[in-house]
Amino acid sequence: MTTLLQILAATLLSSVLSIVLAGLISFKFLDRYMSKMLCISAGLLLTVAFTHLLPEAFEIHENAASVGWTLLVSVLFLFCLEFALSHQHHSHVNPPEHTISEYIKGSQKRSSGAGNAILIGDAFHNFTDGILIASAFMVSSGLGWVTALAILAHEIPQEVGDFMVLLHSGFERSKALLWNVISGLTSMLGGIAGYFLLDRVEWMVPYAFAIAAASFIYIALSDLMPEIAHQEKPERFYVQLFFILIGMAMAVLATGGLHEH
């Protein structure tokens, strides 16, 4: 098998398989544990962003300020995106009301910018993973497959969090799976780009990490955490905080030893 075919197979394995496995986990426990899984997803997203994506971006890029500006601009862009989608939703006077994302997905369920933002961030993240896998295969096949398996391992808990955000944003289960898979396929594009243009596109890697981190942070703090914080019963808040900590622990266990690719 040629190096390019191995890269394509490895990126497909690390992205699509992790999404399918995460979907099975999410859907199996969704109905009974939806609120708890939202808390877990918030912990997952924040931990992956602050302890994996951003450190990786700062480590790769010599100019930390550039990464910081990318993070800031990305957060502001997502804020504007959510405002635009919300404004579009409320500007319809006559039912049925649709947001831009609902037109795209053909769904009339409630939607917000959160689902769209998580897909955008994931696409950048998966594209970067593809470049990382390609760079590993350029060294050796063994290193390439080990890298792909490592990425698969740390993608599963993150994808569980993504599914919770998409479902919470109004995506149907089939739509959430479909769009997550489409987002995951960008890893193959990253693998192809890495194979043919590694020397030219390597500069994009830290920026892609920063954009992905911005989307995860924004979603957790603007869409998930406020709902958790606005609890009338203190005991319910502490229960939810406990599940946020569980999500953080899951992310640490899955990615703690896999930061260096």
**Which structural domain range is residue 43 located in?**
3-254
Q: What is the pLDDT of residues 3-20, one digit of tens each?
A: 899 999 999 888 888 888
Asked whether residue 260 is assigned to any structural domain, the reply reads: no
Asked whether residue 199 is assigned to any structural domain, the reply reads: yes
Asked whether residue 127 is assigned to any structural domain, the reply reads: yes
Asked whether residue 18 is assigned to any structural domain, the reply reads: yes
Does the pTM surpass 0.75? The reply is no
pLDDT band of 94, cuts 50, 70, 90 = very low
DSSP per-residue string spanning 31-85: HHHHHHHHHHHHHHHHHHIIIIIHHHHHHH-S-HHHHHHHHHHHHHHHHHHHHHH
pLDDT given at position 230: 65
Number of domains present in the structure of the chain: 1
Asked whether residue 259 is assigned to any structural domain, the reply reads: no
Asked whether residue 123 is assigned to any structural domain, the reply reads: yes
pLDDT given at position 167: 77
Asked whether residue 261 is assigned to any structural domain, the reply reads: no
Asked whether residue 149 is assigned to any structural domain, the reply reads: yes
Q: What is the pLDDT of residues 217-259, one digit of tens each?
A: 887 887 667 666 666 677 777 888 888 898 888 777 765 544 5
